[in-house]
Each structure stands twice: as structure tokens, then as C-alpha cells.
Amino acid sequence: MAVDAAIYQSAAFKEFQDLCREKGILERPAGLEQHDVADGLTDDATLMRFFIARNKDSDAAFQQLKEAFETRKTVNDIAIHQNIDVDIYESTRPLYPHWTGRRTKRGIPICAYDLSYLSGGALVEYHKSRNMPHSTSTDQSSTLSATQRAFATYDTLTRFVLPLCSAMRDRPNPESPVSSTIYLVDASQLTIKQALDVRNYAQDITKLLATCFPEVIDTIYVLNAPSYFSKIWYLVKRFVDPNTASKLVILTSEEVLPTLTQTIDLENIPVQYGGGFSFKQGMVPELDLGLRERLEWFGTKEGMVPTGPLKWRIGVQGRRVGVAVGTEGGEQREVVFVSLTVEDGKAEETKIVENDATMVVGDHEVKVVA
């Protein structure tokens, strides 16, 4: 979704903002750490997604936003994102389209997914967690419901990935926030039986996105669609949110590369579709050159982000630092691994203390990746 910057200044959107403010929905969400940013929760880009989803109807958009907040409260999303076991998070990553670390020519993050993963054990495990009640204790990560796990992964997308891509200036219209992604979905191995098996999964994820993460998808490219895909789509279409369904672009193997190169540079297209990027289902993001150059890296390999959930905080001199959170071995993890540089590409001075082991973030000292 490319939203013209002028819409953010429109009277209709300001009316929606005022309504949200009047109803108290823009108050700082409970559970955020002191210096966490609220992007992906109550920022303008998030409000705009709800506004667009409801055809710029302020009252309807507010009601959906309110419903989304109530759902977030029910699943305890902020605490889950902060405390989820990193191994559980990583086992959840391949269940959903996940960020590759690459962007389109418009600067939109590219998420990829191979539908063949949803077979056998992966789908069995999904259905086990699907039927679990929402956990009220973040100390029992193994008992998290499927919805809570999904929230943890999508919160990293909206709270870390989209704000990061919005901060980049190597894209058209950099004054407009990046608020959506594109999906590359490999359907080459999809069978009719598998399509029937994933109906509940498809219904769950599209309902979650439509309710709590509306308009987070710009386009869904269904790649290498088999000749019988129309029969599959007939079977599952009624289980998919209509707005999500409208975003599908179905491509045969011959159409894939010519279509994708209109939107994505060749080096950011996965090799299995004729590009130059090595993508593997479930991999952590491998950032493109433009992103790597805009970030100052601490300890970790440049371009490779840590496993687990990620978020932004306001750190030294008011600039943003990326923090890897979650738990490892039952211990809370808060690890700074990047900070945004100033716009000319030069990193601001960062206060590192205790032999480069910690960084001051607001009033806190947190571990730096070693």
C-alpha cells in the first residue's frame, strides 16, 4: 500500500486522529518498556492502515482499531513479544510469510513463504497450538496459543521492520511511511489435499491480519502456480478474507521472473525464482545493501539480524537503537545490535561502557551483541 503523504495531512485523517485521541486509544500502550517506541501500535502509519481499510470512514476505522486493541489485550501481545522464548519464536517464523531482509524498488519489505512447509508435522504442531487457550503467563512460552505466537511474529514486522524501512531515504517518496509488505508465496508443490488441510490455517491468519493488521499486505504474488490452481483456489477462497484475496497475483512459472523484475531488483529476488538472493524457509533476514549502510552495527555480522523478536527504543542523543528481546534459557534477553545513523550516513557517537559490553538506552544499560 503506497499512501500519498498528502492523505496524512487531510482533514478526514485528522478527524480520525482526533477521534482516537478523544477516546483515549492513543495513550501509551500498557506494558511498553520506558523508552520503547510505539510504532506499529499507535503511530500515524498504523492509524492510516485502519483508516484505509475502512475506506476513510473515521467511525468505522475507530471501531476496528478498538477491536484490535481489545484482541491485543486478550492475547497479552506486548508482554508476549517481550518475553517469548527465542526458540519458540524461531519455530513459529516459518509458519508465516517472513521478512527476507530485502525490499522492492519502492522500498517495501519483501516477505517470502513456501506453501510446501505446511504439510506433515508443521501443520500438526500448528493445530495443537491453535486449540490452546491464550496463556496468561509469559514464563510458560511452550503453552502459547497459535494466535499469541502469530502476534509475536507480526509485531516484529510492524514494530521493527516497517519503521526501519520507513527510515530509509533510498526510495521514491521517502516522506511517506512504509506501512505494508509484499508476499512471495511459492505454490509449486501445492496439492489439492494440502489445500483442504490448510483451510483452518488460512482462515485464522487472514482473519488476524484483517482485524489487527489491516492493509499490512500490499500484494501477494502466488508463484509457480500449478495448472490446477484454479480448482485449489475455488476450494479455499471462501475461507480467505475478501480484501486479502483481492491482493493475489497468480503467476505461472513462465510469468514469475518477468513480473517480479518490474517490482524488485534482480539481486533481491530469491534464486529459486531466477534472482540472485539465497532464500531459505525460516531464515533470519539478510539485509540489503541500502539498509546495511544506514545502520551502525554492534558485534553482530553486518547485515544479519539476531534471532527472536525485535523492537526499537530511543537511545543516546534521541536516536533509535534496535533491541533483540525474548528469553533464552529462561533468562530475559535485551541486546542492542544496531542503531540508525543520521541521514548523511555518518553514525552519531554512541555511548558504550564496560568494555563495549553495554549501551546506555534512555535510563537503562542493556547488553550489546558481543
pLDDT along the chain (370 residues), means of 10: 78 96 93 92 95 95 96 94 94 94 97 88 82 68 84 97 95 93 94 84 90 96 92 84 90 96 97 95 94 87 88 88 94 92 47 43 50
- pLDDT of 77 reads 94
Buried b (16+ CB within 10 A) or exposed e, 295-318: bbbbebeebbbbebbbbbbebbee
**CATH 3.40.525.10 spans which residues of the chain?**
12-273
Strands 181-186 and 217-223: parallel
Going by the DSSP 8-state scheme, the letter that residue 158 receives in this structure is I
| The CATH classification of domain 12-273, taken from the options 3.40.525.10, 3.40.190.10, 1.10.3720.10, 3.40.50.1580 | 3.40.525.10
Please say whether the beta carbons of 232 and 195 come within 8 A: yes
pLDDT at position 222 = 95
Instruction: Kindly state the DSSP code that residue 351 receives in the 8-state scheme.
Output: -
CA 228 to chain centre: 31
What is the pLDDT, as a whole number, of residue 368?
A: 52
CB 269 within 8 A of CB 277: yes
* Predicted local confidence at residue 241, as pLDDT: 84
Q: How big is the chain by its Cα radius of gyration, in Å?
A: 20
Q: What pTM, to 2 d.p., does this model score?
A: 0.90
Whole-number Å distance between alpha carbons of 293 and 314: 20
Alpha carbon distance 360, 350 (integer Å): 9
Contacting residues for 229 by C-beta, under 8 A, at least 6 apart:
187, 190, 222, 250
User: pLDDT at position 72, please?
Assistant: 94
Task: Tell me if residue 38 falls in helix, strand or coil.
Answer: coil
CB contact at 8 A, 28 and 43: no
Strand partners, 322: 312, 338
Tell the burial category of 242 from Cβ atoms under 10 Å away from its Cβ (0-12, 13-18, 19+). exposed
CB-count exposure of residue 196 (10 Å: 0-12, 13-18, 19+): exposed
